Structure 1
Amino acid sequence: MGVTDIRILKRELRDECKKARRDMPLSHKAQKDEMIFKRLTALPEVQSAKLILTYVSTPIEVSTFRLIDTMLRAGKAVAVPRCADGIVAMDFYRIHSMQDLEPATFSVLEPKLDICKKVTDFSDSVCIIPGLSFDLAGYRLGYGKGYYDRFLNRYHGVNIGICYNSCIRNELPHGRFDVAASILVTEKFVKRIPVQENKPMPKKEKPLLKRSFSMADRRKGGGRSQG
Protein backbone atom coordinates (compact mmCIF):
# COMPACT_ATOMS: atom_id res chain seq x y z
CA MET A 1 0.00 0.00 0.00
CA GLY A 2 1.43 3.37 -1.04
CA VAL A 3 1.82 6.47 1.13
CA THR A 4 -1.17 8.13 -0.54
CA ASP A 5 -3.35 5.06 0.04
CA ILE A 6 -2.37 4.95 3.73
CA ARG A 7 -3.22 8.63 4.15
CA ILE A 8 -6.62 8.08 2.54
CA LEU A 9 -7.25 5.05 4.75
CA LYS A 10 -6.30 6.99 7.88
CA ARG A 11 -8.56 9.87 6.91
CA GLU A 12 -11.47 7.48 6.37
CA LEU A 13 -10.81 5.79 9.71
CA ARG A 14 -10.68 9.16 11.48
CA ASP A 15 -13.99 10.19 9.95
CA GLU A 16 -15.53 6.85 10.91
CA CYS A 17 -14.38 7.04 14.54
CA LYS A 18 -15.38 10.69 14.93
CA LYS A 19 -18.86 9.93 13.64
CA ALA A 20 -19.23 6.93 15.96
CA ARG A 21 -18.28 9.08 18.94
CA ARG A 22 -20.53 11.97 17.98
CA ASP A 23 -23.44 9.57 17.52
CA MET A 24 -22.91 7.93 20.92
CA PRO A 25 -25.74 8.79 23.36
CA LEU A 26 -24.45 10.86 26.28
CA SER A 27 -25.74 8.33 28.80
CA HIS A 28 -23.79 5.54 27.08
CA LYS A 29 -20.67 7.71 26.94
CA ALA A 30 -20.92 8.47 30.66
CA GLN A 31 -21.15 4.76 31.47
CA LYS A 32 -18.17 3.91 29.28
CA ASP A 33 -16.14 6.79 30.75
CA GLU A 34 -16.90 5.49 34.24
CA MET A 35 -15.72 1.97 33.41
CA ILE A 36 -12.55 3.23 31.76
CA PHE A 37 -11.86 5.48 34.76
CA LYS A 38 -12.19 2.52 37.15
CA ARG A 39 -9.95 0.25 35.08
CA LEU A 40 -7.38 3.00 34.58
CA THR A 41 -7.11 4.07 38.21
CA ALA A 42 -6.87 0.42 39.33
CA LEU A 43 -3.64 -0.04 37.39
CA PRO A 44 -0.62 -0.38 39.72
CA GLU A 45 1.36 1.86 37.37
CA VAL A 46 -1.13 4.68 37.92
CA GLN A 47 -1.43 4.07 41.65
CA SER A 48 2.34 4.15 42.18
CA ALA A 49 3.10 7.04 39.82
CA LYS A 50 4.02 10.37 41.40
CA LEU A 51 3.36 12.32 38.20
CA ILE A 52 0.33 11.86 35.93
CA LEU A 53 0.64 13.22 32.40
CA THR A 54 -2.76 13.39 30.77
CA TYR A 55 -4.66 15.13 28.00
CA VAL A 56 -7.64 17.37 28.78
CA SER A 57 -10.58 15.75 27.01
CA THR A 58 -12.84 17.24 24.36
CA PRO A 59 -16.53 16.24 24.12
CA ILE A 60 -15.92 13.26 21.81
CA GLU A 61 -12.99 11.82 23.77
CA VAL A 62 -12.83 9.57 26.81
CA SER A 63 -13.32 12.06 29.63
CA THR A 64 -10.29 12.87 31.78
CA PHE A 65 -11.91 15.49 34.01
CA ARG A 66 -12.63 13.06 36.85
CA LEU A 67 -9.18 11.52 36.47
CA ILE A 68 -7.51 14.92 36.84
CA ASP A 69 -9.60 15.81 39.89
CA THR A 70 -9.03 12.41 41.53
CA MET A 71 -5.28 12.45 40.99
CA LEU A 72 -4.98 15.98 42.37
CA ARG A 73 -7.02 15.04 45.43
CA ALA A 74 -4.75 12.03 45.93
CA GLY A 75 -1.79 14.38 46.15
CA LYS A 76 -0.21 13.39 42.87
CA ALA A 77 1.38 15.89 40.50
CA VAL A 78 -0.70 16.34 37.34
CA ALA A 79 0.56 17.84 34.10
CA VAL A 80 -1.28 18.48 30.84
CA PRO A 81 -0.02 19.45 27.37
CA ARG A 82 0.24 22.80 25.68
CA CYS A 83 1.19 23.22 22.02
CA ALA A 84 4.25 25.31 21.25
CA ASP A 85 3.68 28.36 19.06
CA GLY A 86 4.61 27.97 15.41
CA ILE A 87 5.96 24.41 15.52
CA VAL A 88 4.55 20.90 15.80
CA ALA A 89 5.62 20.26 19.39
CA MET A 90 4.03 20.23 22.81
CA ASP A 91 5.22 20.40 26.39
CA PHE A 92 3.56 19.39 29.63
CA TYR A 93 2.83 21.90 32.39
CA ARG A 94 1.87 21.12 35.95
CA ILE A 95 -1.59 22.22 37.07
CA HIS A 96 -3.10 22.40 40.54
CA SER A 97 -6.75 22.75 39.53
CA MET A 98 -8.95 23.04 36.45
CA GLN A 99 -8.81 26.80 37.00
CA ASP A 100 -5.24 26.68 35.71
CA LEU A 101 -6.57 25.95 32.20
CA GLU A 102 -7.70 28.22 29.38
CA PRO A 103 -9.19 27.62 25.90
CA ALA A 104 -6.53 27.47 23.20
CA THR A 105 -6.30 26.16 19.63
CA PHE A 106 -9.40 24.18 18.60
CA SER A 107 -10.95 25.26 21.95
CA VAL A 108 -8.92 22.58 23.76
CA LEU A 109 -8.19 23.54 27.36
CA GLU A 110 -4.48 24.10 27.90
CA PRO A 111 -2.42 25.26 30.90
CA LYS A 112 -1.94 28.98 31.48
CA LEU A 113 1.70 29.79 30.86
CA ASP A 114 1.83 32.61 33.40
CA ILE A 115 0.99 30.36 36.35
CA CYS A 116 1.92 26.81 35.28
CA LYS A 117 5.43 25.40 35.42
CA LYS A 118 6.83 23.36 32.54
CA VAL A 119 7.67 19.76 33.43
CA THR A 120 11.14 18.61 32.41
CA ASP A 121 11.62 15.63 34.75
CA PHE A 122 9.36 12.70 33.87
CA SER A 123 10.64 10.33 36.55
CA ASP A 124 8.00 8.15 38.24
CA SER A 125 5.35 9.16 35.72
CA VAL A 126 2.75 7.63 33.44
CA CYS A 127 1.33 9.28 30.34
CA ILE A 128 -2.34 8.93 29.44
CA ILE A 129 -2.67 9.28 25.67
CA PRO A 130 -5.75 9.96 23.55
CA GLY A 131 -6.57 8.31 20.26
CA LEU A 132 -9.47 8.13 17.88
CA SER A 133 -8.62 4.45 17.56
CA PHE A 134 -6.06 1.92 18.77
CA ASP A 135 -5.21 -1.51 17.48
CA LEU A 136 -4.47 -4.62 19.52
CA ALA A 137 -0.73 -4.03 19.22
CA GLY A 138 -1.15 -0.65 20.90
CA TYR A 139 -0.69 1.56 17.85
CA ARG A 140 -2.92 4.62 17.77
CA LEU A 141 -4.76 6.64 15.21
CA GLY A 142 -4.46 10.26 16.29
CA TYR A 143 -5.78 13.45 14.76
CA GLY A 144 -3.05 13.65 12.16
CA LYS A 145 -0.97 16.52 13.57
CA GLY A 146 1.80 14.41 15.12
CA TYR A 147 2.14 16.09 18.52
CA TYR A 148 1.92 12.90 20.57
CA ASP A 149 4.07 10.93 18.12
CA ARG A 150 6.88 13.42 18.65
CA PHE A 151 6.48 13.54 22.41
CA LEU A 152 6.33 9.76 22.82
CA ASN A 153 9.57 9.36 20.90
CA ARG A 154 11.37 11.19 23.71
CA TYR A 155 9.26 9.90 26.61
CA HIS A 156 10.57 6.75 28.28
CA GLY A 157 7.85 6.08 30.86
CA VAL A 158 4.71 3.96 30.68
CA ASN A 159 2.18 5.35 28.22
CA ILE A 160 -1.44 4.25 28.54
CA GLY A 161 -3.90 4.52 25.68
CA ILE A 162 -7.56 4.93 26.61
CA CYS A 163 -10.27 4.39 24.03
CA TYR A 164 -13.82 3.16 23.56
CA ASN A 165 -14.03 -0.53 22.70
CA SER A 166 -16.05 0.22 19.56
CA CYS A 167 -13.05 2.13 18.18
CA ILE A 168 -10.53 -0.69 18.68
CA ARG A 169 -9.29 -2.32 15.48
CA ASN A 170 -7.32 -5.52 14.93
CA GLU A 171 -4.64 -3.61 13.05
CA LEU A 172 -4.00 0.00 12.08
CA PRO A 173 -1.54 1.35 9.51
CA HIS A 174 1.56 2.68 11.25
CA GLY A 175 5.05 3.79 10.41
CA ARG A 176 8.49 3.56 11.94
CA PHE A 177 8.05 6.79 13.88
CA ASP A 178 4.89 5.54 15.62
CA VAL A 179 5.15 4.43 19.26
CA ALA A 180 2.63 1.92 20.57
CA ALA A 181 0.93 2.16 23.93
CA SER A 182 2.43 0.20 26.82
CA ILE A 183 -1.08 -0.52 28.11
CA LEU A 184 -4.44 -0.25 26.38
CA VAL A 185 -7.60 0.42 28.42
CA THR A 186 -11.20 0.33 27.20
CA GLU A 187 -14.49 -0.06 29.05
CA LYS A 188 -14.25 -3.80 28.24
CA PHE A 189 -10.64 -4.78 28.89
CA VAL A 190 -7.08 -3.92 29.88
CA LYS A 191 -4.33 -5.17 27.57
CA ARG A 192 -0.64 -4.97 28.35
CA ILE A 193 1.43 -4.72 25.20
CA PRO A 194 4.61 -6.87 25.15
CA VAL A 195 7.76 -4.79 24.89
CA GLN A 196 8.76 -6.28 21.56
CA GLU A 197 5.44 -5.14 20.08
CA ASN A 198 5.53 -1.53 21.25
CA LYS A 199 9.25 -0.84 20.88
CA PRO A 200 9.82 1.70 18.07
CA MET A 201 12.46 1.15 15.42
CA PRO A 202 15.74 3.08 15.81
CA LYS A 203 15.32 6.47 14.25
CA LYS A 204 16.32 10.09 14.19
CA GLU A 205 14.07 12.74 15.71
CA LYS A 206 11.68 14.19 13.16
CA PRO A 207 12.41 17.87 12.41
CA LEU A 208 9.95 20.27 13.96
CA LEU A 209 7.36 21.39 11.47
CA LYS A 210 5.67 24.73 11.25
CA ARG A 211 1.99 24.73 12.09
CA SER A 212 -0.28 25.95 9.36
CA PHE A 213 -3.90 25.69 10.45
CA SER A 214 -6.72 27.58 8.81
CA MET A 215 -9.36 29.38 10.84
CA ALA A 216 -11.81 26.77 9.59
CA ASP A 217 -9.67 24.07 11.21
CA ARG A 218 -9.63 25.99 14.48
CA ARG A 219 -13.39 26.27 14.51
CA LYS A 220 -14.05 22.57 13.90
CA GLY A 221 -15.93 21.00 16.77
CA GLY A 222 -14.61 17.99 18.62
CA GLY A 223 -11.08 18.39 17.30
CA ARG A 224 -7.92 18.72 19.29
CA SER A 225 -4.66 20.51 18.83
CA GLN A 226 -2.51 17.59 19.89
CA GLY A 227 -2.59 14.87 17.23
Structure 2
Amino acid sequence: MVKQDIRPLKNRLREQCKSARREMTAQQKQDKDIRLFRRLISLERYRRAKMVITFVSTPIEVDTHNLILYALTEGKQVVVPRCVPGTRLMDFCLIRSFDDLEPGTFSVLEPKQNCEVLTRFDNSLCIVPGLAFDMHGYRLGYGKGYYDRFLNAYRGYTVGVCYNSCLYPSLPHGRFDCAVDLLVTESFCKRIQ
Protein backbone atom coordinates (compact mmCIF):
# COMPACT_ATOMS: atom_id res chain seq x y z
CA MET A 1 0.00 0.00 0.00
CA VAL A 2 1.38 3.42 -1.00
CA LYS A 3 1.06 6.11 1.65
CA GLN A 4 -0.38 9.40 0.44
CA ASP A 5 1.53 12.57 1.28
CA ILE A 6 -1.05 14.68 3.13
CA ARG A 7 1.23 17.71 3.54
CA PRO A 8 0.00 19.55 0.40
CA LEU A 9 -3.63 19.11 1.52
CA LYS A 10 -2.78 20.35 5.01
CA ASN A 11 -1.00 23.39 3.56
CA ARG A 12 -4.06 24.26 1.42
CA LEU A 13 -6.31 23.94 4.46
CA ARG A 14 -3.96 26.14 6.49
CA GLU A 15 -4.17 28.89 3.86
CA GLN A 16 -7.97 28.61 3.70
CA CYS A 17 -8.23 28.99 7.46
CA LYS A 18 -5.84 31.92 7.60
CA SER A 19 -7.86 33.63 4.85
CA ALA A 20 -11.15 33.00 6.66
CA ARG A 21 -9.70 34.53 9.82
CA ARG A 22 -8.27 37.56 8.02
CA GLU A 23 -11.60 38.21 6.29
CA MET A 24 -13.41 38.73 9.59
CA THR A 25 -13.94 42.34 10.52
CA ALA A 26 -12.51 43.49 13.85
CA GLN A 27 -16.05 43.64 15.26
CA GLN A 28 -16.92 40.12 14.03
CA LYS A 29 -13.75 38.73 15.58
CA GLN A 30 -14.35 40.53 18.85
CA ASP A 31 -17.93 39.24 19.05
CA LYS A 32 -16.82 35.66 18.36
CA ASP A 33 -13.95 35.92 20.85
CA ILE A 34 -16.27 37.18 23.60
CA ARG A 35 -18.74 34.36 23.01
CA LEU A 36 -15.92 31.79 22.98
CA PHE A 37 -14.42 33.25 26.17
CA ARG A 38 -17.78 33.03 27.96
CA ARG A 39 -18.16 29.39 26.94
CA LEU A 40 -14.65 28.58 28.21
CA ILE A 41 -15.03 30.17 31.64
CA SER A 42 -18.43 28.54 32.15
CA LEU A 43 -16.96 25.05 31.74
CA GLU A 44 -16.99 22.94 34.89
CA ARG A 45 -13.48 21.75 33.96
CA TYR A 46 -12.29 25.36 33.86
CA ARG A 47 -13.90 26.23 37.19
CA ARG A 48 -12.34 23.20 38.92
CA ALA A 49 -8.85 23.63 37.41
CA LYS A 50 -6.20 25.22 39.58
CA MET A 51 -3.92 25.64 36.56
CA VAL A 52 -4.72 26.88 33.06
CA ILE A 53 -2.23 26.04 30.33
CA THR A 54 -2.83 28.23 27.30
CA PHE A 55 -1.17 29.73 24.28
CA VAL A 56 -0.77 33.50 23.96
CA SER A 57 -2.84 34.36 20.93
CA THR A 58 -1.70 36.27 17.86
CA PRO A 59 -4.09 38.66 16.05
CA ILE A 60 -5.56 35.96 13.76
CA GLU A 61 -6.06 33.37 16.50
CA VAL A 62 -8.90 32.89 18.97
CA ASP A 63 -8.15 35.50 21.62
CA THR A 64 -6.64 34.13 24.83
CA HIS A 65 -5.55 37.45 26.35
CA ASN A 66 -8.90 37.88 28.15
CA LEU A 67 -8.72 34.30 29.39
CA ILE A 68 -5.21 34.82 30.75
CA LEU A 69 -6.22 38.00 32.58
CA TYR A 70 -9.39 36.43 33.94
CA ALA A 71 -7.61 33.29 35.16
CA LEU A 72 -4.94 35.40 36.87
CA THR A 73 -7.58 37.51 38.66
CA GLU A 74 -9.24 34.29 39.85
CA GLY A 75 -5.95 33.17 41.39
CA LYS A 76 -5.37 30.30 38.99
CA GLN A 77 -1.85 29.41 37.91
CA VAL A 78 -1.39 30.45 34.28
CA VAL A 79 1.15 28.52 32.26
CA VAL A 80 2.17 29.41 28.69
CA PRO A 81 4.65 27.87 26.26
CA ARG A 82 8.11 29.04 25.25
CA CYS A 83 9.81 27.41 22.27
CA VAL A 84 13.16 25.82 23.05
CA PRO A 85 15.68 27.22 20.52
CA GLY A 86 17.07 24.74 18.04
CA THR A 87 14.35 22.14 18.76
CA ARG A 88 10.68 21.52 18.11
CA LEU A 89 10.00 21.40 21.85
CA MET A 90 8.38 23.84 24.24
CA ASP A 91 8.92 24.67 27.88
CA PHE A 92 5.77 25.57 29.79
CA CYS A 93 6.31 28.46 32.15
CA LEU A 94 4.35 30.01 34.98
CA ILE A 95 3.45 33.67 34.42
CA ARG A 96 2.00 36.19 36.84
CA SER A 97 1.15 38.97 34.37
CA PHE A 98 1.66 40.05 30.79
CA ASP A 99 4.85 41.75 32.02
CA ASP A 100 6.36 38.24 32.15
CA LEU A 101 6.06 37.96 28.34
CA GLU A 102 8.24 39.15 25.47
CA PRO A 103 8.33 38.47 21.71
CA GLY A 104 9.94 35.11 21.05
CA THR A 105 9.93 32.46 18.34
CA PHE A 106 7.78 33.47 15.34
CA SER A 107 7.31 36.88 17.13
CA VAL A 108 4.75 35.26 19.45
CA LEU A 109 4.68 36.48 23.05
CA GLU A 110 6.51 33.95 25.21
CA PRO A 111 7.61 33.83 28.87
CA LYS A 112 10.84 35.61 29.66
CA GLN A 113 13.87 33.49 30.57
CA ASN A 114 13.43 34.16 34.29
CA CYS A 115 9.97 32.53 34.41
CA GLU A 116 9.72 29.21 36.20
CA VAL A 117 9.57 26.16 33.93
CA LEU A 118 7.02 23.60 35.12
CA THR A 119 7.13 19.88 34.49
CA ARG A 120 4.07 18.87 36.52
CA PHE A 121 0.61 19.94 35.51
CA ASP A 122 -1.61 18.58 38.28
CA ASN A 123 -5.25 19.69 38.24
CA SER A 124 -4.79 21.55 34.96
CA LEU A 125 -6.78 22.37 31.87
CA CYS A 126 -4.93 22.88 28.57
CA ILE A 127 -6.33 25.25 25.95
CA VAL A 128 -5.07 23.95 22.61
CA PRO A 129 -4.59 26.20 19.57
CA GLY A 130 -5.32 25.17 16.02
CA LEU A 131 -5.87 26.76 12.66
CA ALA A 132 -8.73 24.29 12.29
CA PHE A 133 -10.34 21.41 14.15
CA ASP A 134 -12.59 18.63 13.03
CA MET A 135 -15.63 17.14 14.72
CA HIS A 136 -13.48 14.30 16.04
CA GLY A 137 -11.23 16.71 17.97
CA TYR A 138 -8.23 16.53 15.66
CA ARG A 139 -6.44 19.77 14.93
CA LEU A 140 -4.63 21.36 12.07
CA GLY A 141 -1.72 23.28 13.53
CA TYR A 142 0.90 25.42 11.86
CA GLY A 143 2.88 22.36 10.76
CA LYS A 144 5.89 22.43 13.07
CA GLY A 145 4.71 19.79 15.54
CA TYR A 146 5.37 21.74 18.75
CA TYR A 147 1.98 21.09 20.32
CA ASP A 148 1.75 17.50 19.06
CA ARG A 149 4.91 16.65 21.00
CA PHE A 150 3.56 18.23 24.17
CA LEU A 151 0.08 16.72 23.86
CA ASN A 152 1.47 13.21 23.46
CA ALA A 153 2.97 13.49 26.95
CA TYR A 154 0.28 15.63 28.64
CA ARG A 155 -2.16 13.69 30.81
CA GLY A 156 -4.61 16.45 31.68
CA TYR A 157 -7.86 17.62 30.06
CA THR A 158 -7.57 19.35 26.67
CA VAL A 159 -9.87 21.93 25.10
CA GLY A 160 -9.52 22.91 21.45
CA VAL A 161 -10.66 26.42 20.56
CA CYS A 162 -11.73 27.30 17.05
CA TYR A 163 -14.03 29.56 15.06
CA ASN A 164 -16.95 27.84 13.30
CA SER A 165 -15.52 29.00 9.97
CA CYS A 166 -12.44 26.81 10.58
CA LEU A 167 -14.29 23.69 11.64
CA TYR A 168 -14.39 20.65 9.35
CA PRO A 169 -16.24 17.33 9.48
CA SER A 170 -12.91 15.53 9.23
CA LEU A 171 -9.24 16.51 8.86
CA PRO A 172 -6.29 14.40 7.77
CA HIS A 173 -4.26 13.31 10.77
CA GLY A 174 -1.33 11.07 11.51
CA ARG A 175 -0.61 8.51 14.18
CA PHE A 176 1.08 11.06 16.47
CA ASP A 177 -1.81 13.54 16.33
CA CYS A 178 -3.89 13.75 19.51
CA ALA A 179 -7.58 14.59 19.58
CA VAL A 180 -8.69 17.10 22.22
CA ASP A 181 -11.19 16.09 24.90
CA LEU A 182 -13.54 19.01 24.23
CA LEU A 183 -14.04 21.37 21.32
CA VAL A 184 -15.27 24.94 21.93
CA THR A 185 -16.38 27.38 19.25
CA GLU A 186 -18.30 30.65 19.44
CA SER A 187 -21.53 28.63 18.98
CA PHE A 188 -21.15 25.36 20.88
CA CYS A 189 -19.15 22.98 23.03
CA LYS A 190 -18.72 19.36 21.93
CA ARG A 191 -17.26 16.65 24.14
CA ILE A 192 -15.04 14.35 22.09
CA GLN A 193 -13.79 11.73 24.54
Fold match, TM over 0.5? Answer: yes
Match of 1:31 in 2: 31
The separation in 1 between residues aligned to 2:132 and 2:85, in whole angstroms, is 27
Match of 2:109 in 1: 109
Match of 1:176 in 2: 175
Deviations 1:72-129 (A, max 9, x none): 0000000100000111100110000000000012210000012x10011111001001
Code of the aligned partner of 2:4: V
For residue 173 of structure 1, give the secondary structure of its aligned residue in structure 2: coil
For residue 66 of structure 2, give the secondary structure of its aligned residue in structure 1: helix
Match of 1:96 in 2: 96
Match of 1:3 in 2: 4
State the 1:3 CA deviation. Answer: 3.5
The separation in 2 between residues aligned to 1:137 and 1:91, in whole angstroms, is 27
For residue 52 of structure 2, give the secondary structure of its aligned residue in structure 1: strand
The separation in 1 between residues aligned to 2:64 and 2:139, in whole angstroms, is 18
Match of 1:79 in 2: 79
Instruction: Return 5+ residue gaps in structure 2 as ranges.
Output: none
Code of the aligned partner of 1:193: I
The separation in 2 between residues aligned to 1:3 and 1:99, in whole angstroms, is 46
Code of the aligned partner of 1:7: R
Give matches, 1:8-157, under 5 Å.
8-114=8-114, 116-157=115-156
The separation in 1 between residues aligned to 2:157 and 2:30, in whole angstroms, is 26
| Residue-pair matches, total | 192
User: Could you state the TM-score of these two structures normalised by the residue count of structure 1?
Assistant: 0.83
Code of the aligned partner of 2:46: V
**4+ long deviations beyond 3 Å:** none
Code of the aligned partner of 2:188: F
The separation in 1 between residues aligned to 2:20 and 2:67, in whole angstroms, is 23
The separation in 2 between residues aligned to 1:99 and 1:11, in whole angstroms, is 34
The separation in 2 between residues aligned to 1:176 and 1:120, in whole angstroms, is 25
Deviations 1:186-205 (A, max 9, x none): 001000002xxxxxxxxxxx
* Higher share in strand: 2
Match of 1:163 in 2: 162
The separation in 2 between residues aligned to 1:16 and 1:165, in whole angstroms, is 13
Instruction: Return 5+ residue gaps in structure 1 as ranges.
Output: 195-227
The separation in 2 between residues aligned to 1:97 and 1:113, in whole angstroms, is 14
The separation in 2 between residues aligned to 1:2 and 1:171, in whole angstroms, is 18
The separation in 2 between residues aligned to 1:154 and 1:32, in whole angstroms, is 31
State the 1:62 CA deviation. Answer: 0.3
